[in-house]
Chains A and B, each alone.
Chain A
């Protein structure tokens, strides 16, 4: 194919990435609107409209586009449906001083990067997408413009920079071994395996897999809470989707050894996240370690090919749970302070319904009925057991047992928010939550329960085209 034909192909394929294009155009207009000093409320409305537009105009097709660098399949379609909604959820957070049009511009950039991350079928495009999300994330982290925020942003930047360098090095090794950057042309070789490992570390960094999770607690602690809610969902889910694609298309590279390595990493992540969360008193730090543990649960789902629907269910639940939990935290925050457990003590007597909502998200994050969190864990353990059964692999069995035990342990720290809410006696505290936010909290909590009673409700939401 000569340059001319390639250009024509690229021109023809622009319709395929319509939702990304809407987002890009929207963010450029957002910058102009911001410079015209539009009030923040209208900025938010505009962003919401753009997000809904990208949701509505997403193309449900499958195949390779843009000279085989962009791939469209179920998964990328699911992401164009899910991630704008998650971002919309972040938009609904309480008004805080750091929010400005630049903030939302950066959120949109991360979202765009995340969508490209899922859609790429080429190592270099993937790298560029990851860098796009990373740079915007570094900036978002520091948006409090205080000492803690800067420290968090700096840490994030340093770790992120190193991991991206390692990733690039891995890509160069892969290119050296195969003379190609397309996923499906990679085959197993020693050099390629080394390269793949380095390359994966970049994605593991994004999805906060131990030992690439070091940045998580500091970043989550220092960043604004709505940004944290965003980091813990959009780029992370996109990272997992990218991992899913990588494993799916680099089948030639696939090797039992790799599977064992990834299971070991998953087990380590679960254990580390759970144990570290046990000792936290800052709610955001606690949730951050909890999110690390959840990464360990999602990781094996990327590994196996026949689990698309379970992966889908898990990430939807994960997004709903996390947005709900962080929204809840943010609504209880005082100006410029992180929420500590003692800040919510005794509120349950005056605000029982908020207490019930805190029980729902805590129980969902632990994975207990009657919430979707339980179904997600049930599906996950079922598929893990099936793999154990068919391969008689001790790694899968260990994964199940560690996962189950850590669920029991995670009860202890997740339940501490409702615990302080109801069981500590302190009548002096007051919070103000307006009706609109209360409605959103209730809706999200209700969604979690609905997803338990009818887990197939989202089948229509993103049906499968090529199962």
Chain B
């Protein structure tokens, strides 16, 4: 008996978007309620998914997927070129499970955060729900084509959501976001084609090779056709590098632009700052995770040998992001920009964790992604609260907010401390595990030198510095705001805002106090993942 729960989770928001077609543009309350209902159903379904999830399922990465759905979607004969086969293939394992839960939770909170929206409400929520469908689709797809489809489908709604409901420089930011990520996904496209043509099974009936986009086949070296361009024994080179290494780099770059890594990060501050609050929340909490998840599920799992070869450089990329993002964050005087740069800094830890090739490192990277999902969502909502009241988010325009807005300041303290990695809150666990992984591997086989861990710790100090400095400037001292007209608007959090912040704060605290909930369900999958990517000899 096949369970259709994954399809339901993916298509529930799409159904919501479709339902909105029957509403009138002026029925704003009804539209918002419909969007909320459908995203809540999605959230309930994904919680139900956690319930039915068996954390110790399968004994190999390729067999560890649960709730699998597989149907043939496109099967097209192209003459002597062979036939083109695309499956609708979904499945979930410990790595994707929590990302799905995170996305559905953030989707609900995003709907709540957009409650006050007034213009073009129907189009906004339709695009928003489509975005949600494509993000969850990415996390659950096990067919490369399907994954790529969802990955690309994220771009269009996001482009319009930034460009139509954003801040003053929104059109520039949206185009920049679109072109940067499109370049990345086109690199992924070329690699996908090459992989498709390299992977296949022999059809026993008429002795032809059936290619497939099946990610599980691509992860398994047995399915590679002998002599094809990306097979293990391939002799093809590109600019003197083996083709497998080039393909890995293309995938890595494609996903790393989304993550982002440092030379390709400039779309992120622009997009995050110009987007409206709920959209920045989605961008930071979910879109960056697509990059990270892509690295785990696709780049590393398909090319473990090449990943191993480049592990050191990947970790260096991570350290660079940690330090550079942190220093940039410190230099900002716009609160939202600072938080955007802090995202770059935190995502650097994911790369260090991956580069370490240890269970601790990989678990840390994964945990960091989920924790960052909660924390960054809360951070952008914090900026949103201030911006809603004053239309301003310059750090220097506020001082001593703690006395006037105690509830708000309480939330800010918890989230800021979680973000800077205070033990007991969510941000700490992921960073600790990553650093353990980095030091561990430097002690065991010397893949990563010690200094990577040490420099990453310095990155933590920088993070602490800019958050504490911001707290000191904005929340401590004597109450003062730049414009007199802001005074009457400076009210503490209302019930709707508490409704949004409470689950996030709870999440941050629970994840920090009792990370076992997530780590236990993830651990088995991550061990299989490391067993799959780790036990390979380094290519000379």
Residues in chain A within 8 A of chain B (CB atoms)? 306-310, 349, 352, 359, 363, 368-370, 374, 378-379, 381-383, 385-386, 388-389, 392, 397, 400-401, 404-405, 407-408, 411-412, 415, 419, 422-423, 453-456, 459, 464, 467
Contact = CB atoms under 8 A, between A and B. Distances in A.
Contact of B80 (A379, A385, A400, A467): A467
A370 B197 contact: no
A459 B77 contact: yes
A385 B163 CA distance: 36
Contacts of A382: 81, 84, 193, 196-197
Contacts of B77: 309, 456, 459
Given A369-B153, A404-B189, A456 B81 contact: no
Nearest to B155: A368
Contacts of B194: 385, 389
A400 B247 CA distance: 14
Contacts of A379: 78, 84
29 contacts: A306-B80, A307-B81, A310-B78, A310-B81, A378-B193, A382-B81, A385-B193, A385-B194, A385-B229, A386-B197, A389-B197, A389-B228, A392-B236, A400-B190, A404-B186, A404-B189, A404-B190, A407-B182, A408-B179, A411-B178, A412-B175, A415-B178, A419-B175, A422-B160, A453-B74, A454-B74, A455-B76, A456-B77, A459-B76
B193 A407 contact: no
A251 B160 CA distance: 50
Contacts of B236: 389, 392
A390 B79 CA distance: 18
B153 A412 contact: no
A308 B74 contact: no
Contacts of A378: 189, 193
Nearest to A454: B74
Contacts of A310: 78, 81
A177 to B, nearest CB: 31
Contacts of A419: 163, 171, 175
A47 B264 CA distance: 55
Nearest to A374: B152
Given A306-B81, A381-B189, A370 B175 contact: no
Given A368-B152, A407-B186, A419-B171, A308 B197 contact: no
B117 interface: no
A1 B319 CA distance: 82
Those 7 A-B pairs whose CB atoms lie nearest each other, nearest first: A306-B80, A456-B76, A309-B78, A389-B229, A404-B186, A309-B79, A423-B171
A41 B249 CA distance: 59
Given A369-B153, A408-B183, A456-B76, A422 B197 contact: no
B400 to A, nearest CB: 38
B345 to A, nearest CB: 28
B182 A408 contact: yes
Contacts of A308: 79
Given A307-B81, A411-B182, A455-B74, 4 more contacts: A368-B152, A386-B81, A389-B236, A456-B74
B156 A359 contact: yes
Contact of B79 (A306, A352, A370): A306
Given A389-B228, A415-B178, A454-B74, A381 B190 contact: yes
Interface in B137-177: 148-149, 152-153, 155-156, 160, 163-164, 170-171, 174-175
A152 B123 CA distance: 42
Nearest to A390: B229
Nearest to A407: B186
Nearest to A366: B182
Contacts of B3: none
B238 interface: yes
Interface string B73-110: 01111111100100000000000000000000000000
A370 B149 contact: yes
Interface in B52-82: 74-81
A30 B187 CA distance: 52
B178 A423 contact: no
A423 B274 CA distance: 14
Contacts of A455: 74, 76, 84
B149 A369 contact: yes
- Most chain B C-beta atoms within 10 Å of own C-beta, residue among A359, A408, A467: A408
A208 B61 CA distance: 51
Contacts of A407: 182, 186
Contacts of B190: 381, 385, 400-401, 404
Contacts of B75: 456
B156 A467 contact: no
Contacts of B163: 419, 422-423
Contacts of B229: 385, 388-389
Contacts of B160: 422
Contacts of A422: 160, 163-164
A368 B160 CA distance: 15
A370 B134 CA distance: 12
Nearest to B78: A309
Contacts of A423: 163-164, 170-171, 174
Contact of A385 (B78, B171, B183, B197): B197
Contacts of A412: 175, 179
Given A408-B182, A419-B175, A370 B81 contact: no
A109 to B, nearest CB: 33
Given A385-B193, A397-B238, A467-B80, A370 B186 contact: no
Contact of B156 (A306, A307, A363): A363
B123 A352 contact: yes
Nearest to B86: A455
Contacts of B189: 378, 381, 404
Contacts of A309: 77-79, 81
Contacts of A386: 81, 197
B80 A383 contact: no
A410 B350 CA distance: 33
Contacts of B238: 397
Interface in B178-232: 178-179, 182-183, 186-187, 189-190, 193-194, 196-197, 228-229
B153 A464 contact: no
B137 to A, nearest CB: 12
B80 A370 contact: no
A383 B236 CA distance: 17
A35 B189 CA distance: 56
Contacts of B182: 368, 407-408, 411
Contacts of B79: 306-309, 464, 467
A434 B39 CA distance: 38
Nearest to B160: A422
A359 B289 CA distance: 27
A385 B230 CA distance: 11
A285 B111 CA distance: 42
